[in-house]
Structures are given as structure tokens and as C-alpha cells.
Chain A
Amino acid sequence: MAAITIAEVSKIYTGNVEAVKSVSIDIEDGEFIVLVGPSGCGKSTLLRMVAGLESISKGTVKIGPRVINEVDPAERDIAMVFQNYALYPHMTVYQNLAYGLKNRKTPKAEIDARVAEAARMLEIEPYLHRKPRALSGGQRQRVAMGRAIVRKPAAFLFDEPLSNLDAKLRVSMRGEIKRLQKRLGTTSLYVTHDQLEAMTLADRLVVLNGGRIEQIGRPLDVYHRPASTFVASFIGSPAMNLIKGRIEGSRLHVGTYRIELGERAPVEGPVTVGLRAEDLRLAGVGEDAMLFQVDYVEELGAQRLVHGTIEDQALTVALSPEIPLSGDLAVTIATDRLHFFSTENGKRLERGASFTNTAESARPLSLEPAL
């Protein structure tokens, strides 16, 4: 077990394609870090550099105190779980688990003990003498996990290990990975493109975009304080609504609506406004409201997502299914839940310190419809 230090690491492919751009992450011993981002964001490349499957173009990677840039993958004291499991199809489950240990000249008795322990932990004992093809997807996944566990490595590397499973199994395996990691306390680096998986698994998540880190933080911090429009739209489902607005003094203009923020706004002029679907609600009688033109409704059971527009800007509103819907809606916003982002670089604009105020209900919106 060890900490992993990734310091200003870059990956440059031939032809000067920079897949990873000077990324630094300090991973504490025993921490579960999830790298999340869309495909092509460099998350897998970064993981594979830590694994030693890709060379490191710039920067250093340390596992524990040791710089491992030039160390052979087998010598890095890591274990990896692959997306397609990469089980050796011609070996039994037992042989799959034992192969790495055998190559390290581990004594037979020790191998047996470790395999037995891992098999018990993962409940794959009945299949030890089967070949991978005789196993279900979930069982193969467990074997792949087992192959990592028996090695007792300093770190686990996971490369989208759940994406080949069906939705239901994915949820249960997710829980299992989390539980196992906590129990073993092994430092883990986990790559996924699924933001929900990232949210539920991570101690901290690293959101990557275009080879750069957009944000590092605990899941809820990232959710509540996204560092950029990219993170805002990537983390959370449905994605955060992002609409164009303009700030003049303490007022926010959205289309022809004017919203009183009751505080000094972070900037003057055009701004991207972020608001989560659940932070919009139906306006009460007599309350100031904006006209929300409904396009279509998605029923999720516990929730109902209403898609539509406010003055031609697309938004999604999450409503309770109990509320009857008929035609267009009058909605209002929780102003203290608004996020502001720069229109130039998409970065988050922190709101003034004065904005630590009361619950939304205490501050009625001041909406002045145009005309």
C-alpha cells in the first residue's frame, strides 16, 4: 500500500498529439480516486501511464517513494482490472489467479492460500476449476478482481471494469468494488466515463477534459460547486441547465426577465448561468414567475423531467410526479442556488461573500416581465 504521486505528467504521441497535458494528482495511501471524463479525455492514457503500459512523455509518477517512470509494469507493484477482463481464456480460474504469483516465484503453498482467500472474498470458490468461458459476465468480473487481489499490490488500477456488464449487475458490482476497496484499504485509481459510477465510488474524483484536469474534489463538492461549465454539464443527471444571461449590478437578466439577486454579483455583463433541474420549481400563486414552454415530459417514476424553453433557451425542470401538468408552466428559481460561469472560458465565477443568506423562500423573486 502506498501513495501515488502524479506530477506534471504529459503524454505526447508522435505527430505532437498531446493526449495528457501536464496533469498532477496527489493520491493518498488507501484513497479511492476516480478519473472521469468523456471518451478521448486522456483518462485511460493517464491510467496506462501509471500502469507502465504507456511511456511517460513528461513528468514523473511515484508509487510510494519510488519514481516508476522507467520501471517495468511487472515491477511496479500494481494490479489492473481491464474493461474486457483480459482473462487468459485457456487457463482455469485458479490458473488465472495464480499466473502472476507463479511468475514471481511465489511458493506454491502461499499461492494456494492467497487464491483461496481471494476466492472466498469474491465468492468464486465453486468456479476455481472452470475456464472463463464457462462463467457469466459478473463472475468473470469477479475473477478479474481476484487476479488483482491475490497480488496484494500497492495499488489497484481499474480501466472501466464495469462497462461490459448489464445495468443491474453494474450497480451491484459497484457496491462490491467499493466495499472491497474499503476492506483492503488499497490505493485505487479508477477510470470511467460514467459520472454516476464516479460519484458513487470516489473518495475524490478527477474530472478530465481534453487531457487537462477540470476539477479535483470530493463528489459532493464537485456536484455543488462545479469548477467549469464542462464539469457542470458532465456531473449530475440531468445535466445542469446552462443558459445565457447578463448581470447588471445586482440584477440578472435572462432574456426579457430580470432577476434580483440581492447581492453584489461576481461580474458585470454577459454570464453563463447554471441551474440544476431540481432548483427550479413551480411558482406559487401570486409569486413572480417565468413562462416555461413545455416541449415534452420524461417520466422517471420518482421524478418527472419536464423539458422546455424559457424565451427560447432550453431547460429541464425536475418536478414531483404528483403535480398535475397542463400546458405551459410558470416557474421560479432558487436564486441562491444559481451558478455563474464566465462566458469566455467557462470557469466558475465565485459569488460574493455576502451571499450566504437565507433560504430561498425567504427571498421572493423579483421578476419584471418585459412589455
Chain B
Amino acid sequence: MTSGTELLPAPRGGTGTDGRRFGALRLFGGKAKGSEEAAKRVQFSSPYLPYLFLAPQLAIIFVFFYWPSIQAIQSSFYLEDPFGFGSTFVGMTNYTDVLKSGEYLGIARFTAIFTTLVTFFALSIGLLLAVKADGVIRGNATYKTLLIWVYAIAPPVAGLIGMMFFDQHIGPIVELARWFGWDIKVGLNYFDTAFSMIVVSVWKQIPYNFIFFLSGLQGIPVAVREAAAMDCRSGFRRFWTVILPLLAPTAFFLLIINVTYALFDTFGVIDVMVKDKAANNPITLVYKVYMDGFRGNDLGGSSAQSVILMLIVFVLTIFQFRFIERRVHYN
């Protein structure tokens, strides 16, 4: 490699929807390959400087990450006195209560369905648009700009716009559905609310998937495409047998990101759309943690739910870590 800023290889490892999930994967992927060891041939050595540089980050992490995380685990084993007079150790009771509750299981089922649908539609629409945008030459840049900007819209803002479009009085989607004899009643009808939540959540996530699929497609060497064009006449078959397998790593990465998005980041969409009347409305597990903790003041139950969520995230991460090794590389 010669010198020059431009020529420095781009950094690896990174950010999810919100700058959060992505890193974990790379991190563990890296470790699995045994490349976690010291980076530089030459390093500074100083008795205090590294600690000085690490101190701010460590302080914040200890106070705002480790302390609460440990508290969550701890209080999941206690029952908080409703009048604030201390708490009693109850072992696994909070967990068994949560897992036996029909309401919780119902919410878990909805979360699973919601996550599956949001992930599926956000991924397939993102992929479709990316493939088409990659195929056209004219207007490529314009399409790109117009398709990605929604990424910058916050989930609750997307929820608000969604609310308007599904509004009883003025919502165009409601009017459209009426044409087909479907009377959408968001906030009143469980199914209709779920439908609108999924639509808004998918809409908000398409740009993200589009960006990654497009850059994945553009990362496929021209020579490979040319070789494929000579070997295979059918464009569809070519996509299916050459392009898609090469996109598999991107797709897998996005799958995890989208699942995480649907589980956690849709909070804003849901909170705006159910408007505090969660009773008969579909909500996800994270929303339930929030409700029980802040509305219901059930600290132990909410903590137990938090820990269950932690386990889910943990399993996702392990999953990712396991599959990361199978990532296909273009070169």
C-alpha cells in the first residue's frame, strides 16, 4: 500500500440501525478468527497514560452500564414492597410469574409475529429496490438519495405520520381500505392496529436495508458479473445463483439487525400509535417492560422481563457469532 488518506483501508466493524448492534458481531467474529491480539508492532508504553485515556469511557460504562445491568439482574429476584418498605428475596418467582402469565405469553407471541413480518417485508422490499437501483444507470444517484432519506426520521415521528395516514377522519389509507370494504380502526381494532404498526415499522426500515444491499451489490466485482453473464443467459437465474449467494453475508447481517430493530427500536412507533391505551392493543415485549416498570410499578416483574430480553439478545448475538464464520468473501 502506498500512502495517502484515501488509500487507507476503511475501518471494519460498526453500527446497527442506531449504532449499536453491529459492533458486537464484528467483535466476536474477530475473536473467533483469533485476530483480537495487539494491533501494532510498535506501541507506546507509559505507566499512566493509557488509563488516563480510558478513564472517561470506563467511568461512564461502569455507572451507566454495569451498575444498572447488575441491578436489573438483582431486582429480578426480589419482590418490591408496593409501599416502598424494602424488598424480599423471592428467588425465581418473578420469572415463573412472568412466564406463566397468559398476557405475557400473548405479547411474546405477538412480538414474534410482528418481528417476523417486519423483518421479512423490510428485507425483501429493501432488496428489491436495491437490485433495481443497481441495475439502472440513469437516475441512479437520484433514486438513491430519495430512497435513503427516510432513514433519518425518528421512529416516533414515523409513527406520527403513520397515525395521520391511518386516521379515522383524514387518513388516505383508511379511505383506500374502505373501497375494498375494510373499515380500518386503528387503536380500536387489535388486528388493524397491528397492521398499521407493521406498515409504519417496515416503511421506516426499508432505507437502511436498501443502503446495505446496494453497497453489497456494488461490492460484487464487475469481473464476477461479467463471468456470470457469459455463463448464464437468464437474468433471473443469474441473480439467484450468483448474485444472491454473494449477498448472503450482507443479508445475514441485515437479518439480525432487522430482528433487533423490530424488537427494540420500534418502541417509538408503538408508543405513539397505541397512545397510552395499551390495554386492548398489540404491544411488544420491550413495551411491556416499560409499562410494568413505569406504569405498573412492578419492579421485580419488569426486571425479570428485562433479564429475559437480555437472554434473547444474548442468544441472537451468539447466533450471529456462530454464523459469522460462514460469511462469504467477495475476493
Chain A 84-102 near chain B by CB (<8 Å), digits 1 or 0: 1111011000000000000
Binds B, one of A132-140, A268-276, A296-304, A333-341: A132-140
Instruction: Assess whether A53 is interfacial by the CB under 8 Å rule.
Output: yes
Task: Please tell me if the beta carbons of A131 and B42 are within 8 angstroms of each other in the complex.
Answer: no
B42 near A89 with CB under 8 A, answer no
6 A-B pairs, CB-CB below 8 angstroms? A54-B41, A84-B3, A85-B2, A87-B3, A133-B4, A133-B5
- The 8 Å CB contact of A90, one of B1, B5, B41, is B5
Q: How far is the CA of A302 from the CA of B7 in the complex (A)?
A: 40
Q: How far is the CA of A41 from the CA of B131 in the complex (A)?
A: 50
Interface string of B1-15 (1 = CB under 8 A from A): 111111110000000
CB-based nearest A residue for B6 = A133
A37–B115 CA distance with the chains assembled, in angstroms: 60
Interface residue? A164 (CB, 8 A): yes
Interchain nearest-CB distance for A334 vs B (Å): 46
**A116-142 interface (Cβ within 8 A of B):** 131-133, 137, 140
- Looking at the complex, which one of A54, A131, A164 makes contact with B4 (CB distance below 8 Å)? A131
- Distance to closest chain B CB from A82 (angstroms): 9
Q: Is the CB of B1 within 8 A of A84?
A: yes
Q: Which residues of B contact A (CB under 8 A)?
A: 1-8, 41-42
Which among B1, B3, B4 has the highest number of chain A CB atoms within 10 Å?
Answer: B3
> In the complex, A85 Cα to B2 Cα: how many Å?
7
Q: How far is the CB of A258 from chain B (nearest CB, A)?
A: 55
Partner among B1, B7, B42 whose Cβ is within 8 Å of the Cβ of A133:
B7
Interface of B is mostly: loop
B-chain residues with CB within 8 Å of residue A85 when the two chains form the complex? 2-3
Question: Chain A's nearest CB lies how many Å from the CB of B38?
Answer: 11
CA distance A140 to B8 in the complex (A): 16
When chains A and B are docked, how far (Å) is the Cα of A54 from the Cα of B7? 27
Q: Which residue on B lies nearest to A141, using beta carbons?
A: B2
Closest to A144 in B: B3
Task: Please determine whether A86 and B5 come into contact, CB atoms closer than 8 angstroms.
Answer: no
CA distance A137 to B1 in the complex (A): 11
Let me know if B41 and A89 touch, CB within 8 A.
no
- Please determine whether B5 and A84 come into contact, CB atoms closer than 8 angstroms: no
Q: From the candidates A54, A90, A131, A164, name the one contacting B2 in the complex (CB within 8 A).
A: A164
Distance of A90 Cα from B5 Cα, bound (Å): 7
Q: Name the B residues within 8 Å of A54 (CB-CB).
A: 41-42
Q: Is the CB of B41 within 8 A of A132?
A: no
Contact B4 A89, beta carbon cutoff 8 Å: yes
Contacts of B5 in A (CB 8 A): 89-90, 133
Which residue, A53, A89, A131, A137, has most C-beta atoms of chain B within 10 A? Answer: A89
Residue on A nearest B7 in the bound complex, by CB: A133
Give Cα A89 to B5, complex, Å.
Answer: 5
Q: Is the CB of A53 within 8 A of B3?
A: no
Contact B3–A140 (Cβ < 8 Å): yes
Question: What is the bound-complex CA distance between A131 and B7, given in angstroms?
Answer: 13
A284 to B139, CA, bound (A): 77
| Interface hits, A174-213 → B, CB 8 Å | none
With contact pairs A85-B3, A132-B3, A133-B3 given, residues A53 and B8 touching in the complex (Cβ less than 8 Å): no
> Which residues does chain B contribute within 8 Å of A87, judged by CB atoms?
3
Could you tell me the distance between the alpha carbons of A87 and B7 in the complex, rounded to whole angstroms?
A: 12
Q: Which residues of A contact B41 (CB under 8 A)?
A: 53-54
Closest to B5 in A: A89
For the complex, give the distance between the alpha carbons of A137 and B41 in Å: 25
- Give chain A nearest CB distance to B181 CB in angstroms: 65
Within 8 A of B (CB), among A41-81: 53-54
Task: Give, as a whole number of angstroms, the nearest-CB distance from A229 to chain B.
Answer: 33
Closest-by-CB residue of B relative to A131 is B4
Which 7 residue pairs across A and B have the least CB separation, nearest first?
Answer: A133-B4, A89-B5, A87-B3, A89-B4, A132-B3, A89-B3, A53-B42
Chain B contacts for A53, CB-based, 8 A: 41-42
* Distance of A53 Cα from B42 Cα, bound (Å): 6
Given contacts A54-B41, A87-B3, A140-B3, 12 further A-B contacts (CB under 8 A): A53-B41, A53-B42, A54-B42, A89-B3, A89-B4, A89-B7, A89-B8, A131-B4, A132-B3, A133-B5, A133-B6, A137-B2
Which residues of the other chain, B, contact A86 by a CB distance below 8 angstroms? Answer: 3
Q: Which residues of B contact A131 (CB under 8 A)?
A: 4
A346 to B3, CA, bound (A): 42
Query: B1 → chain A, closest Cβ, in Å?
Result: 6
Question: Hey, which chain B residues are within 8 Å of A140, CB to CB?
Answer: 2-3
User: Within the assembled complex, what's the spacing in Å between the Cα atoms of A164 and B3?
Assistant: 11
CB distance from A210 to the nearest CB of B (A): 21
Contact with B along A153-190 (1 / 0, CB 8 A): 00000000000100000000000000000000000000
Q: Which residues of B contact A89 (CB under 8 A)?
A: 3-5, 7-8
Q: How far is the CB of A131 from chain B (nearest CB, A)?
A: 7
Given contacts A89-B8, A133-B7, contact A84 B42 (CB under 8 A): no
